[in-house]
Chain A
Amino acid sequence: MKCLPYIVLMCLGTACMAQKPFFKQHDLGESYQNAKVKLMYEDPRAAMWFGTTDGLFLYDGIDFQPFIKNDSSSNHVRAVYRDSKKRLWVGYEDGSICHFNKHKLVPWTLGKNISNVPIIGFAEDKSGQVWMATYGDGVYFFDEKELHHIGQQEGLPSNDIYTMLVDSAGTVWIGTDGGLSKIKLSDGKPVLTTFTKQDGLPDDIVQAIQPNGDGRLWVGTYEGGVCLFDPVKKTMEFPLAGQDLGNVKCLELFNGMDLWIGTTGNGVWRYSMQLGKLSHIPNFSKAKVTDLHRDIEGNIWVLTNSQGIYSANRQFDFVETPFENVQALLSDRENNLWIGTIEGLFSQRLETNGNKGFQAHLANEILNTVCLEEDDFGNIWIGTLGNGLYVYQPKTGASRHISINEGLVNGNILSMDGRNNHIWLATLAGATEIEFGADILNGGKLGIRHLDQADGLGTNFLYKVFIDSKNSVWFGTDSKGISVFENGHLKNFPTASHLHDDGGTEPDTRLHAVYSITEDAKGHIWLSTDREGIFEFNGSDFQHLTVKEGIRNLEITGLATDANGHIIIVHPSGLDVLTPGSKHLIYYGEEVGIQKFDPNLNAVSTDRFGNVWVAGKNTFIKYSALKEDLEIHPRTLLNNVAVFLEPVDFEKDKTFSHDQNNLVFSYMGLWYTDPQIVKYKYRLSNYDLDWIESKDRRATYSNLPPGDYTFEVTSTENDAWSDEPIVAYSFKIKKPFWLQWWFIAIILPAVFGLFYWYQKNRDRRVQLVNLLEKDKVESQLAALKAQINPHFLFNSFNTLITVIEENPKLAVEYVENLSDFYRKIMLFRDKEIISIREELELVENFAFLLEKRYGNNFQISINLKNLSGYIVPFTLQILVENAVKHNIISKSKPLVVDISTEYKDYITVTNNLQLKLTQEKSTHFGLQSLTVRYEMLGKRKVKIEDNGQVFKVSVPIIY
């Protein structure tokens, strides 16, 4: 009666029993919500391109990067293709074509657009010619010089092309309203053959062509479904005859085994050739599918007109169930799934279209089912917690209870494994072997054997029993590691000789509770433990795999071996798939649809196809090993190099100048199975000391010094960093020209020359300054000497004496002038230059003194037009004094001195030349010193003119 709630649940559940892949939706982003996604294209580097009504997008699994044309032409992308010359072709609704270059869309024209009809496809033939298909104008091919057209006139049934394919032999296949056409080029001339309904095609409207890999083609039609066409034999096969698929828009094929069919208005179909089974994918009931795509990891992508972009991992299917807590799972040979719960036993028929829902069994018994096993007779063995063992035949409903009364030692059976007519039980009181015959349900005799601690078993508390391919029986114990019963002998592992880290004699305590056991193709035994990860036993040694080796979660509850020989590790974060040889791990979790779950120890089962079933809360997960050669690493792509944020054509540009030293590298680690999990490691060799680990998809280097560098980047999806391929980009930052040898060779002598010249010049200047200083001092000294000359004083005083009595007033004036004269000498002595006015005052004082002494014998006249400007102190005074000193001054020969402007910017002192016969002793310093000082101060020189009659000295005015 306690099953009643379940029966109700079951009836509710039947509607959703179907196996469903988990489709993850990819969102173009807020700004492009109204864009319709029309196509996707995975280029040979595995980068994913999407064509939408609003532009081209590049996708790395996380972000869509838009590339939008800025001109007025259409952004509605209809075709994307990357050719062998690494050109990315993009075709648009309005007939325009672009190439993607330096991260930009660059219009491609041969002087004109092909046409103004949509470009719907590109392809490349064997000779490297790029073919372009249009909707409305036939096809074109480009031989790198010009475009050649093939249209209705050349024999194409229609100019509206739906699909174009170039097969591995280089033949171009075209689908139109008029059937399937084949184009071969013979001497550059197209030879067309068209296959139509008359040749057996189910419909003339051919919208999809997909190569089968063996020369045959899958052809998808508007109304006639799909057919498999053999171009050599010209025959058609109809493996899906009688199925109304709908309007077939696109086809995708995995490994020649798994055909996916996208329709307009009828969703997605999947046809498994291995099983000969067609199923409608429930996720896309009536969707208009615009494109299908298989990626390099084996994921299927579905693009729909209304909802967008979806992808699913084909290895996983999910079944919704009413069971919250499944304790045991078994997939039998009849393709039934048996489910053991605390409530009892249930079964569900798999792979059937007419769902009957879950069926309850042995409802009258108390079946707290913890393990299930099927024997060779099709009997189901049910191990319970506390109530012993049941054997049940589903076809007849007959059952038999084997309890302690029948010879069992313990009624708690935690695990079972059987072979032929033997079954082994792991109980809480050791191991039990039961030998039985076909008559077991008719009261046949049972042979029961028991093994426990007394027989040498590590402990009596057993979690797991497993019979390997050599018929050895392995027991996982609660605290004493693993035991094996081989040829009648029990052995316990680990012994002192195994696993001892410290060389001591104590067994390694890491291996104590063993929850799960499986065997790989080489016969190695794999164990999972309660907290210490996984051990591999090769018959003599254990190898330990834990977090460091990439195990994602140590709460491992189950191990299984799939059809490919991979070890499936079940834990609350999902499933890890381990390749035994390389130890490479792939994680599957939320991204493939596995929500966090808490699986029970026996809720894992491998079916007869090698599929692994795991029960989670209200869901069964089916993992089918794909017999396909799939990519197991993220593909690392360097997708942009920017110098000062400006993208460069990095395929070609590998040399930069010294000031192009700010580089940003953008890369992607493409792992569509779980894009968020990808981590990166990069290094700039010759710069970084070590690898840098990062989640960023960009590395920035600024102020790189000149040198040769290699940027290396790699990505991982499982943190193992084992054998992931590395992408490298080598480049050079050139030295600036001033560090180039040729420049140095030229510039070095020049620098020396310059230095020498400078040095020399400086010496000269210093000398000049010194000289100037010396001259100044000397001229001051000379002036002082001259003025304090006793002769001058004596004469002055004599003059004064004669005046004092005659004209005391004049005498006072005389003394005033004398003292003025000396005061000015004192005042101007230290100055470099003085104004002409000041100098004239001085000269007037001096002249007064001279006039009083010589009377009319000395005449001075000052006629200066311009008194602005400057002059070296005492210049005029020295010149006047010189005239007085060297010339006769007498009544008959008066001395006439004239100060006037004779040349522009000069002051000229002129006197009549009547040299004394006996020259006063002179240092000849006065005039010479003046000349030198003017030379140093300015460019203009002192002019001296002597014509025997007149002596003229002109000194420059300094402004």
Chain B
Amino acid sequence: MIKICLSLLGVLFGWVAIGQAQNSYSTQNGAVSFRSEAPLELIKASSKKLQGILDISQNTFAFRLEPASFEGFNGALQKEHFNENFLETSRYRFASFSGKIIENIDWKQPGTQVVRAKGKLSLHGVEQERIIKCIVEIADGKIKVGSNFTILLEEHAILVPRVVRQKIASEINVEIEAILQKQAQ
């Protein structure tokens, strides 16, 4: 499975269209947003630069995002702080999630389904094995993927000093929405 993921990542990041393209759906502009709801502050930010690829013949997927592309925050200083201190985006450029969908899906059948995607979520250089629930909407030539999940900062070695814990939640809510287009043959 790891090999499949790696090859998928290769496809994704190298942008090389290979033979299996007719089974692949991809996006370059998926939306990701997060919310940190701490007692003293609500922080929100979003990005529209989620890249992703889905291979429906293997039920495998790979997504990635540059956390530096997040916009929003409560001020520019906060964004800088987010990039430099917490996510260290210059050192860990990408966050990614790649793996396999647990459920068997009939991709030819249009409609909405809830599936669980299992894979490795990498953030701040720390990988976590996660099962993330997604809503998949199959339509002609495209697949819409939406998900809501949480990330525990501690699990990704993102250390928040005690002083700022009232301003940054230890549990971050993440929302994703992406429309993957069938790749040209």
Contacts and interface: CB of A to CB of B under 8 A. Distances in A.
Contacts of A177: 102, 118
A204 interface: yes
A565 interface: no
Contact of A222 (B1, B2, B131): B131
A178 B118 CA distance: 12
Contact of B116 (A136, A159, A160, A205): A205
A205 B118 CA distance: 11
A205 B117 CA distance: 12
A204 B2 CA distance: 21
A159 B1 contact: yes
Nearest to B155: A305
Nearest to A247: B131
Secondary structure class of chain A's binding surface, majority of residues: loop
Interface of A: 136, 159-160, 177-178, 204-205, 222
B102 A136 contact: no
Nearest to A222: B131
B2 A205 contact: no
Nearest to A117: B2
A160 B131 CA distance: 13
A136 B131 contact: no
Contacts of B116: 205, 222
B114 to A, nearest CB: 10
Contacts of B118: 160, 177
A76 to B, nearest CB: 14
Contacts of A204: 102-103
Given A160-B118, A178-B102, 13 more contacts: A136-B1, A136-B2, A159-B1, A160-B1, A177-B102, A177-B118, A204-B102, A204-B103, A205-B102, A205-B116, A205-B131, A222-B116, A222-B131
A159 B99 CA distance: 13
Nearest to A159: B1
15 contacts: A136-B1, A136-B2, A159-B1, A160-B1, A160-B118, A177-B102, A177-B118, A178-B102, A204-B102, A204-B103, A205-B102, A205-B116, A205-B131, A222-B116, A222-B131
A205 B132 CA distance: 13
A656 to B, nearest CB: 50
Interface in B18-71: none
Contacts of A222: 116, 131
A222 B129 CA distance: 14
Nearest to A152: B1
A197 to B, nearest CB: 9
A167 B43 CA distance: 51
Interface in B102-139: 102-103, 116, 118, 131
Interface of B: 1-2, 102-103, 116, 118, 131
Contacts of A159: 1
A205 B2 CA distance: 20
Contacts of A205: 102, 116, 131
Contacts of B131: 205, 222
Contacts of B102: 177-178, 204-205
A159 B2 CA distance: 11
Q: Top 7 nearest A-B pairs by Cβ distance?
A: A177-B102, A177-B118, A222-B131, A205-B102, A204-B102, A205-B131, A159-B1
B51 to A, nearest CB: 26
A8 to B, nearest CB: 30
A204 B103 CA distance: 8
Nearest to B118: A177
A768 B129 CA distance: 98
A156 to B, nearest CB: 13
A577 B57 CA distance: 65
A222 B131 CA distance: 9
Contacts of A160: 1, 118
A214 B118 CA distance: 34
B152 to A, nearest CB: 9
A205 B116 CA distance: 10
- Pick the most buried of B1, B102, B116, B118: most chain A CB atoms within 10 A of its CB: B102
Contacts of A178: 102
A205 B103 CA distance: 10
A159 B103 CA distance: 15
B132 to A, nearest CB: 12
A178 B1 CA distance: 15
A178 B100 CA distance: 12
Nearest to B150: A265
A177 B102 CA distance: 6
B100 to A, nearest CB: 8
Contacts of A136: 1-2
Contacts of B2: 136
A177 B118 CA distance: 9
B162 to A, nearest CB: 16
A136 B103 CA distance: 18
B151 to A, nearest CB: 13
Contacts of B103: 204
B182 to A, nearest CB: 26
Nearest to A118: B129
B160 to A, nearest CB: 15
Nearest to B102: A177
A675 B70 CA distance: 55
A178 to B, nearest CB: 8
A248 to B, nearest CB: 13
A159 B118 CA distance: 13
B115 to A, nearest CB: 11
A204 B118 CA distance: 13
A496 B102 CA distance: 83
A178 B102 CA distance: 7
A177 B131 CA distance: 10
B74 to A, nearest CB: 28
A107 B116 CA distance: 38
Nearest to A178: B102
A178 B103 CA distance: 8
Nearest to A197: B103
A159 B102 CA distance: 12
A457 B173 CA distance: 77
A921 B140 CA distance: 153
A160 B116 CA distance: 15
A132 B103 CA distance: 26
A136 B1 CA distance: 8
A175 to B, nearest CB: 13
Nearest to B103: A204
A602 to B, nearest CB: 49
Nearest to A306: B154
A158 to B, nearest CB: 8
- Pick the most buried of A159, A177, A178: most chain B CB atoms within 10 A of its CB: A177
B110 to A, nearest CB: 22
A201 to B, nearest CB: 13
A204 B102 CA distance: 9
A208 to B, nearest CB: 15
Contacts of B1: 136, 159-160
A750 B119 CA distance: 82
B119 to A, nearest CB: 11
Nearest to B154: A306
A159 B3 CA distance: 13
A177 B1 CA distance: 14
B34 to A, nearest CB: 19
A682 B131 CA distance: 54
A160 B2 CA distance: 11
A171 B103 CA distance: 27
A473 B103 CA distance: 70
B65 to A, nearest CB: 25
A521 B156 CA distance: 60
A288 to B, nearest CB: 9
B134 to A, nearest CB: 14
A411 B118 CA distance: 74
A611 B2 CA distance: 55
B56 to A, nearest CB: 18
A485 B111 CA distance: 83
A205 B100 CA distance: 13
A715 to B, nearest CB: 41
B127 to A, nearest CB: 12
